[in-house]
Amino acid sequence: MKGTTLFSTILFLLFASCTQQADEEKSQLPNIVLIYLDDMGYGDLSLTGATGYSTPNLDRMATNGMFFTHFYSPQAVCSASRAGLLTGCYPNRIGFSGALSHRSLTGISDEEETIAEVLKKKGYATAIFGKWHLGFQQQFLPIHHGFDEFYGIPYSNDMWPYHPSGPNVFPDLPLFENDSIINPAVTPADQEQFTTDFTLRTVDFIKRNQKQPFFVYLPHPMPHVPLHVSDKFKGKSAQGLYGDVMMEIDWSVGQIIQTLEETGLVGNTLVIFTSDNGPWLNYGNHAGSTAGLREGKGTSFEGGQRIPCLMMWKGVIPESTVCNNLASSIDILPTLASVSGAPLPENKIDGVNLLPLLQGNFNVHPRKSFYYYYRQNSLEAVRTNHWKLVLPHPGRTYEGFQPGNDGLPGKVNGNYLFEGGLYDLRRDPGERYDVSESHPEIVRELEKIAHEAREDLGDELKDIPGKNRRQPGRVTKN
C-alpha cells in the first residue's frame, strides 16, 4: 500500500513539474498586437511628412522600435492584401486577386492556415476586431479560421448604399459578433464609433488574456472612404476630416500601448502597425498621401504597395532604428511562427522570417526579391535590391485627372497601358526615369526573376497557368 502511495506521489510530482514547466514556457511566449489600416498612404504619419495633424503615439512607436522604409503590401487592394498578410502567401497563390464583392461566393480556403491558426498551436488566445474581407458567408468568417473572437464588418465600409450607384448595387452593411449578425444595417453614426469601439474591444481582450499569450488583430476600417470619426476628434485637424481620422487612429494606438504598460505586458509584446495598401487618390482631400511615390491604391507602382510599417518589442527590437531592407506583410506569418516556436503551415508559403532584422542585424537580407501582382493575376513588376522592373501591363492611373473632394471621387483611367521600364528606387523612388538602356544586365537579371515568378505563380495575361497556384474556398451547401 505504501509503495502504491509512493508511486502515486511520484507520478503526481512529475505531472505537476511538467505542467509547471509548460505553463512557464507558455507565459514566456510573446504577445502580438497587429494593427492594420485600410488605404493609409506612405506619407500619412508625422515621421513620413504628414502636415496639418500629428501622430505622436506612432512617433513614439518609432522612437521605441523600428521603422521599415521598404515594406510592401501583398497586393494593392483590400481582400488580396489581407489574404496575403494572414497566410504568408502571395495572394494569387491562394486564389485571391482584387477585392471580394458582397456577392462573392468565394473566400479563404479551409486548406490555408492563418496566423491565428498557426499561433493556436502554441496556446494563444486569438481575436479580430474590425474589417475582415476574406469572405462573408459563415464558413469564411474569422472564428472558423483560428480566431476565438470576432467583432466587426465582413467587408469594406463603403459596401452599402453609399456610392451614387449604391442603392441599386449594395445591401446594408452588417456588423458581426462571431458568426452572428448583431446589427443588420450599420449607419454613418455607427461608423463614427468604429475606431473607438474596435479599440476598446482590443483593450478589453488584452486585459482579459494577460495571463496567457495572445494574438489580437485590429484591422481598422479607416481611413477608407467614407471617412467617419467620433466627436472626440471631429474638427481637430488642420487637414480636415482625413486628418481627424488619422488623429483618432493614433489615439487608438496610444490606448493599446498604455494598456500594455498598465498591465506590465509591454516588455513581452510585439506591436506591429501597417496598412493594407496605399491611398485611394481620386478621393482627393478624403485620401491619404504617398509622400511623392508614384500612383496609389490599385496599382503596382510604389504609391500603391509601399506602405509604412512600425514594429515595437521592448528588449528585442533596438530603439529608434530604421530598416531599409526589403520586407513585406507576407513575411509577418513566418516571423510570428519563429518568435512563438510554432510550426509553419504545411502548404507552401512565400513569406520569410524577419526576426534577424527585428534584432537589428541589417547585414542579412531574408527577402531577396518581391513580385508585384494585380488584376487578372498578371505579373506587373519585380524587384530585387534597389532595382525594380515594371513590365508592360494595363492598369489604373490617377495621373492627369483632377481628384474629387469631400467624399466624391474624381475620374481615373482604369485601363491605361503602361509601357514598363527599369527604375533605381534608391535614386528615383517616384519611378519617373527609365534607366533600362543604361543597365541592360539588370534588366536581364530581373526578367529572369519574372520568368521564375510566372512559372511558379502564373500570369493570366500571358496564358501561363503557374505550377503552384491553389484555389480559394467556395461556398458549400450544408
Catalytic annotation on 228?
Answer: no
Instruction: List the grid coordinates of 263.
Output: 498591465
- Specify whether the CB–CB gap between 36 and 274 falls below 8 A: yes
Residues 423 and 390 sit within 8 Å (Cβ to Cβ): yes
Sign of CA dihedral 240, 246, 249, 253: negative
**How do strand 269-275 and strand 31-37 relate by DSSP bridges?**
parallel
* Nearest C-alpha neighbor of 359 from the set 328, 302, 314, 329: 314
Task: Give the three-class secondary structure for 163.
Answer: coil
CA gap 131, 362 in Å, rounded: 33
Q: Which of 70, 89, 133, 145 is catalytic?
A: 133
- Catalytic-role residue among 70, 78, 89, 228: 78
Contact call for residues 263 and 306 (beta carbons, < 8 A): no
431 three-class SS? coil
Beta strands in 20-100 (DSSP E): 31-37, 66-72
Euclidean distance between CA atoms 354 and 340, whole angstroms = 13
Looking at the chain, the number of H-run helices and the number of E-run strands are 12, 19
The answer to whether the Cα torsion of 290, 247, 71, 141 is positive or negative is negative
Strand 214-219 versus strand 125-131 pairing type: parallel
18 flagged as catalytic: no
**b/e sequence 128-167, b meaning 16+ C-beta within 10 Å:** bbbbbbbbbbebbbbbbbbbbbbbbbbbbbbbbbbbeeee
DSSP per position, 207-263: HHTTTS-EEEEEE--TTSSSP---TTTTT--TT-HHHHHHHHHHHHHHHHHHHHHHT
Cα–Cα distance between 287 and 451 in angstroms, integer? 35
Q: In 347-368, which positions are buried (b, 16+ CB within 10 angstroms) versus exposed (e)?
A: bebbbbbbbbbbeeeeeeebbe
**Amino acid at site 322:** V
**Cα–Cα distance measured from residue 240 to residue 236, given in angstroms and rounded to the nearest whole number:** 8
How do strand 421-424 and strand 387-390 relate by DSSP bridges? antiparallel
Active site residues: 78, 133
